[in-house]
Structure 1
Amino acid sequence: GLHIVDQSGSGSAKKINLGNPPSFFYGPLWSPDSKKIAYTDKRLNLWYLDVEKCTPVKVTTDRFDDPTSRMNESWSPDSKWLTYSKFLENHLRTVFAYSLDTGKESQITDGISDARYPVFDKGGKWLLFAVSTDVGLSSGWLDLSSFQHPILRNIYAAVLKKGDPSPVEPQSDEEKTAEEKKDTGADKAKEADQGKAGEKGKGGEKKKEEPAKVVIDLEGIGQRIVSLPIKAARYEGLDAGKAGTLFLSEIVDVPRFGQPNPATVSKFDFTTRKTEPFLSGIRAFAVSANGEKVLYRQGEGWFIAGTAAAPKQGDGALNVDGMETYIDPREEWNQMYREVWRIERDFLYDPNLHGLNLAAAEKKYSAYLKGLGGRADLNYLFDEMLGDITIGH
């Protein structure tokens, strides 16, 4: 099931049953309004649930299992849409959008190229994603010949609503006069002052900013997809910052086999249409729902920083030296014992486990748990009990 507890660790957990048959579940992802959670399972399904209603809703099911990639689901700013990339029969990933209001999914990209990592811009007008036309040699992940091929991706934007302008409309190359620059600066300052004033309601209270409403006109959306002026690279993730900004995580185009490949993160600004370096040597990267903060792992350290400018080395470091974990070895061994049988139940190629009665076998060998003298004994127990499946590899 899904357990929700206060981030301070205090209080009891809210436990939500995710239904039958039981499975392994991954990647719980909060919606921006903090009312819904999206997640996936081992059976290639994408789900979401309303935290108050506690009823799982199936969104879609992927066609093929591929441990090297996933659907990369993400929420719209108004929490009314989910977007993700799903395999077609041609083994290429294609961007889809799912409406929570109608319960229907719609294909966004044409499927003749590999499209991944879709995210909504915080302004609600564009859907951004990475596209590659050279993944063919790497699509058969089970064959070693599919490894070590270069892959490059370009970044595209789909204009969601008919009539909205393209984010890359031609700009005038005429230089502004000093007077025009002065007027523009005065107008921006005035707009900023008006914005600050509008943030406060009666009694000087700060007015809550409403998220951008997302409207998707599906008819002709393929004709409203435009290429962004961003270099081609092996992008492995996109994250929406504040409205009009996009973070791009890239690795080397031919990753080292069996070794970590730290990412370099850059930031694209739709106003200036420029990409600037943001971070390097990154092992994990996430942007807050409002686009104002980033949590990232660099080396062995964790950091939180603002998104307005590239963080300075060491700024925002989290002190995790005092974190401790208390364990009861016997409780841990009992949990590991149950976990091994769950893994066999859900991941063995034969759902019938070569005729083995899983419940009976689990009960039979559980009698030996009380007599374990150490971790080596537990490993020996695993060897003995899993031999009942009678399989070699």
Structure 2
Amino acid sequence: VEPRRLDLRIGGARPLLRPHRVKATSRLGTISPDRTGRASAIESRGTVTWVSHRGGPVRALATGSAVRRRLPVVLDDARVAWVTDVDGDDALEVLDLDAPDATPRTLVAAGRIGRVLEMAASPDGRRIALSTHDGRLLTCGVPAGEVARTVAPKEIDSITGDMSGLAFSPDSRWLAWSASGSGPWEDPGPRPLRQIKIADLNRGRVIAVTSLRFTDTSPVFTLDGKHLAFLSIRSLDPVYDSFSFDLSFPAGCRPLLVALAADTPSPFDPIVGGRPLEPPEPEQAAQEAVAEAVPAETGEVGTPEPAAARARPAAPRTTVDVDGLEHRIAPVPVEAGRYSGLAATKHGLVWLREPLLGQLGDNRATVDAEPERARVEHFDLRTLKLSTVVAKAERIEITGDGSRLLVVDQDRLTVVPSDKPAPKDDDDEDVLRVDLDRLRVEVDPPVEWRQMLDETWRLMRDHFWREDMGGVDWHAARDRYEPMLDRLGSHDDLIDVIWEMHGELGSSHAYAIPPRAPADADRRQGLLGADLEYTGDAWRISRIVPGDASDPKARSPLLSSGVNARAGDQILAVDGQRTSRTTSPLSLLVGMAGKPVELTVRPRGGADVRRVVVVPVADELPLRYQDWVTDRRNYVHAQTEGRVGYLHVPDMMSLGWAQMHRDLRTEMPRDALILDVRSNGGGHTSQLVLEKLARKVIGWDLVRGYAPGSYPSDARRGPMVTIADMFAGSDGDIITAGIQSLGLGPVVGTRTWGGVVGIDGRYTLVDGTMVTQPRYSFWFEKFGWGVENYGVDPDIEVPVTPQDRVAGNDVQLDRALAEVARLLKRTPPVAPPVIPDLPSNGS
């Protein structure tokens, strides 16, 4: 019998494919206000809407799930431009707001501008500046009238790295930006060196305002065009670490101001004759500068046609004297800290002052306390006074005339004056709460998923660390997976297809991570940090997980003061509801995480029944992790009579850094050390960890009445053995390779994960799904390119059998103990010297 193909189709309602409306604030993107703050162009979920701020309707400018629009900018209050992928690669479209039946017109065709990272429009609406993924800075001219044909972008600068912070001068002639630089010192990490540059767009001349020495970002021209302000991390005022002997610069940023013309006085210095008691308003100063305004030349890009120009004061002219430019930089007289969102406003500057926060949240008053938020501050360049405009904000935008701020905070948009504290009363005429519920965003899932897959493919094409895609026919890969779109039944199916398409490259770190839905507090499981069992006729506590009191997230609810619970106690009821064989305590704790709960407890031994109050936790992982670490540390100490220390590092991020230091000072001074990086989740701190591990005792600090201390401090005194396994990956691979490369000691266990091409998480798709592109390849002097897709072999291989795992036998730790004992016999630990006796002659 010949086989034959069966065409099987499974029917069903497939409700997840139905078009539906989503809340615009759930994916609120770029907000671009007009000159006076009357309205804004707002992007949400790939659509662009013109939103009047007070007493008016909204107008959809571009909708539909088949196309993603990004980065809208307002041009001369009459038009809006945005980036679109309607033709595949990024292109620019412009729409005329005054035309009742206007449709978007293509200004720059697809394929000419790469992936646009940032976009800015000149104040006169006649130029658009773009920074691209491939390190180019482009500008394109915008016709005064209807866009009848596409224009060719002009390259202003090109570098290795990227450019950001695009800002035009008030006269639209000058463009400023922040650029990374090429060279052996360049680092793709979170704080690379960056410098400020400006370009004379009329003459095509690029000028470096700052040298490539610090991290200079966010340039803006003041409203009078005489100064350029920017943020710079160059305040080198070190702070001693409170836990270990170290110094850092946690608050090294401050706003700086540079006078562009050599004869422009600094607003911070004394001037001849003194300053006027009532400095002129910026608008008056602009009117006085009409004579200096940029002359209108026939056909010159940057000069609006009279018919298209909006009524406004003439723009003051910006003059730049290159000689001595960097030496005219002066710090704004405010405290160094953490700043972002710098903008030029009425009378001065405005910015976000970011709070100095820990990465884990352990410094907060309580585990559940809300973190401190950024605040908006205004610095008046006339009076040199600093004031808080808004107490809490996530980001800000500034109107074209600098008079008003658009403040985004927790899905709310508020318009407030830029130069004075915003009233707390929402009914005040100076505070305008913009109703964003008027925005209507319709999503057609199958259509949107097709756009998302195509954008994912393009992002990987443009950013994968090898331009040749590792020999993979990337176009063929898209052709292979695109037909599957017709068979998807859910967003989860799309994520699976993206993972499979990424998998064609055979690379690590190629992820697709959907947005996480907010937790339902009513269904969040409450946990007691204990093992429970039903024995006899009651639920009993078989073991309370002790955790670690130094970790606020690792405290057992049953060990809280006043609870006095012990193993063997019975839990009879939860909030008055009786437990039974079929009703466990955990079933009665659903939705009770973080909430006070009454437990009825019968202590072991038959004592009187008690009622106690506990607060169940939502996550027992920190609790059980600390218990696991403590168990192994105690085991190592017991097996070696305290001679060998034990440190486990769970990842190479903030959590791992904190965990390593939790016991560094007590474990490192022992005769030897076992470093455990099993299940290390990776990150980026391996080089910092290696610096600690590689310290070698070269001297001793001896003080009368105190124990001798090693120099340098926290240095190993004897051999080190590292334990690694298949779950130590990414930076867990790198730390293992680094230990072997530096010869710090043998590695015991199994081969590591094998993924060292790093990512930065720069891109999200239209619905918030994060897609990553392996960009940062890694080469080792000892291993070459061989760690990716292979891992690091241990020096001593010790696999863990299923039988050992079930029995709880840590055979890898036992082998590490045997190896460290062998090494101690061969190489005894260093010891402090004995103070010699004085010579008998007393000299």
The alpha-carbon distance between structure 1 residues 283 and 135, as it changes in their structure 2 partners (threshold 3 A), is farther
Tell me the amino acid that sits aligned with residue 24 of structure 1: R
1:240 Cα deviation from its structure 2 partner: 0.2
User: Are 1:152 and 1:253, in contact at CA under 8 Å, matched by a contact in 2?
Assistant: no
State which of 222, 230, 243 in structure 1 corresponds to 2:326. 222
> Of 278, 287, 292, which residue of structure 1 is paired with 2:389?
278
Residue equivalent to 2:93: 3
CA contact (8 A) 2:112 2:153 kept: no
Q: Could you tell which deviates more after superposition, 361-370 or 315-324? A: 361-370
Match of 2:684 in 1: none
In the TM superposition, 1:124-143 aligns within 5 A as 124-133=225-234
Q: Partners in 2 of 1:208 and 1:231 — Cα distance?
A: 36
Please tell me the residue identity of whatever aligns with 2:348. T
Within 5 Å, give how 1:99-248 maps onto structure 2: 99-133=200-234, 150-170=250-270, 208-242=312-346, 244-248=347-351
3-state SS of paired residue (2:492): helix
Deviation of 1:366 after TM superposition, in Å, equals 2.2
- Judge which range, 342-351 or 265-274, deviates more: 342-351
Corresponding residue pairs, total: 359
Residue aligned with 2:177, SS:
strand
Q: Which amino acid aligns with 1:152?
A: G
Instruction: State yes or no: 1:352 paired with 2:443.
Output: no
Residue-by-residue CA offset, 1:115-138 (whole Å, 9 max, x unaligned): 22221111111111223226899x
- Give the letter aligned to residue 57 of structure 1: K
The equivalent position to 1:34 in structure 2, one of 125, 138, 157, is 125
Cα distance in 2 for residues equivalent to 1:50 and 1:72: 19
Q: 1:251 is matched with which residue?
A: 354
Could you list the per-position Cα deviations for residues 46-79 of structure 1 after superposition, in whole angstroms to 9, with x for gaps in the alignment?
22211227321222234336xxxx6212111111
Unaligned runs of 5+ in 2: 1-90, 144-149, 187-192, 239-247, 291-309, 362-369, 509-754, 756-843
Q: For 1:3 and 1:214, locate their aligned partners in 2 and report how far apart those are by CA, in whole Å.
A: 29
Aligned to 1:59: 156
Give the Cα–Cα distance (whole angstroms) in 2 for the partners of residues 162 and 135 of structure 1: 27
Secondary structure of the residue aligned to 1:338 is: helix
- Provide the C-alpha distance between the structure 2 equivalents of 1:41 and 1:87, rounded to a whole number of angstroms: 13
Cα pair 1:152 1:233 within 8 Å, conserved: yes
Structure 1 341/78 Cα, relative in aligned 2: closer, same or farther at 3 Å? Answer: same
Q: 1:134 to 1:123 in 2, by over 3 A?
A: closer
**How far apart, CA to CA, are the structure 2 residues paired with 1:357 and 1:22?**
23
Q: CA deviation at 1:362?
A: 1.6
Contact conserved, 2:251 with 2:336, CA < 8 A, in 1?
Answer: no
- Once the two structures are superposed, residues 72-112 of structure 1 have per-residue CA deviations (whole angstroms, 9 ceiling, x without a partner) of 12111111011112224444222111110111211112444
Partner of 1:289: 400
Query: Secondary structure, in 3 states, of the residue corresponding to 2:433?
Result: coil
Q: CA deviation at 1:149?
A: 5.8
Out of 132, 136, 147, the position equivalent to 1:45 is 136
Cα distance in 1 between the residues matched to 2:319 and 2:271: 26
Q: What is the aligned partner in structure 2 of residue 323 from structure 1?
A: 439
1:201 is matched with which residue?
Answer: none
Determine helix, strand or coil for the equivalent of 1:12: coil
After superposition, give the CA deviation of every residue in 1:283-340 in whole Å (9 maximum; x if it has no partner).
Answer: 1101112111211112221112222422223321111123221122221121122122
Deviates more, 1:97-106 or 1:350-359: 350-359
Cα deviation per residue 1:265-287 (whole Å; 9 max; x = unaligned)? 11111111111111122111011
Contact 2:405 2:418 in 1 (8 A): yes
Counterpart residue identity of residue 3, structure 1: E
Please list the CA deviations of residues 149-191 of structure 1 after superposition, one character each: whole Å capped at 9, or x if unmatched.
Answer: 61322332211112222222226999x9xxxx9xx78x989x9
Asked if 1:264 is matched to 2:264, the reply is no
Q: 1:79 to 1:123 in 2, by over 3 A?
A: same
Partner of 1:80: 173
Gap change, CA 1:149 and 1:260, over 3 Å in 2: farther
Looking at structure 2, the residues matched to 287 and 188 of structure 1 have their Cα atoms a distance apart, in angstroms, of: 21
The match for 2:454 is 338
The TM-score normalised by the length of structure 2 is: 0.39
Q: Distance in 1 between matches of 2:152 and 2:371?
A: 38
Q: Do the aligned partners of residues 337 and 104 (structure 1) sit closer, same or farther apart at CA in structure 2, a change above 3 Å counting? A: same
List structure 1 segments (4+ residues) > 4 angstroms apart after TM superposition.
6-10, 134-137, 171-174, 257-261
The 2-side partners of 1:278 and 1:231 are apart by 17
Q: Distance between the aligned counterparts of 1:223 and 1:135, measured in 2?
A: 18
CA RMSD of aligned residues (A): 3.5
Paired AA for residue 58 in structure 1: E
Q: 1:261 to 1:77 in 2, by over 3 A?
A: farther
Query: Could you tell me how far apart the structure 2 residues matched to 1:251 and 1:338 are?
Result: 37
1:226–1:387 distance in 2 versus 1, CA, 3 Å: closer
Q: Whose Rg is larger?
A: 2
**Among 114, 123, 142, the residue aligned to 1:23:** 114
Describe the shift of the 1:82–1:260 C-alpha distance in structure 2 as closer, same or farther (beyond 3 A). farther
CA distance in 2: counterparts of 1:10 and 1:285, whole angstroms:
32
Asked whether the 8 Å contact 2:139–2:154 carries over to 1, the reply is yes
Deviations for 1:208-242, whole angstroms, at most 9, x for unmatched residues?
A: 41011001011122332233322222112310012
> 1:27·1:40 contact (CA, 8 Å) conserved in 2?
yes
* 1:257 Cα offset (Å): 5.8
Q: Is the 8 A contact 2:222 2:348 kept in 1?
A: yes
Cα distance in 2 for partners of 1:320, 1:106 equals: 42
Identity of aligned residues (%): 23
User: Which residue of 365, 370, 375 maps to 2:486?
Assistant: 370
2:102 is paired with a residue whose SS is: coil
C-alpha distance in structure 1 between counterparts of 2:413 and 2:272, whole Å: 43
8 Å contact 1:63–1:86 — kept in the other structure? no
Aligned residue type for 2:176: T
Q: What SS does the aligned partner of 2:503 have?
A: helix
Q: Identify the residue that residue 145 of structure 1 maps to in structure 2.
A: none
Structure 1 portions without partners, runs of 5+: 138-147, 199-205
Structure 1 46/135 Cα, relative in aligned 2: closer, same or farther at 3 Å? farther
2-side partners of 1:81 and 1:280: how far apart? Answer: 33
| CA drift at 1:7 | 5.9
Q: Which residue of 2 aligns with 1:140?
A: none
Q: Look up the SS of the partner of 1:302 in the other structure.
A: strand
Q: Which of 403, 413, 419 pairs up with 1:302? A: 413
Asked if the contact 1:149–1:254 (Cα under 8 Å) also holds between the matched residues in 2, the reply is no
Task: Report the Cα offset of residue 29 of structure 1.
Answer: 1.3
Amino acid at match of 2:262: K
Change (3 A) 1:172 1:162: closer
Q: Quickly say closer, same or farther: Cα 1:362–1:110, change in 2 above 3 A.
A: closer
The 1:7/1:233 distance shift into structure 2, 3 A limit, reads farther
SS in 2 for 1:367: helix
| Matches of 2:349 and 2:130, distance apart in 1 | 23
Q: Give secondary structure in 1 for the equivalent of 2:119.
A: strand
TM-score by length of 1: 0.80
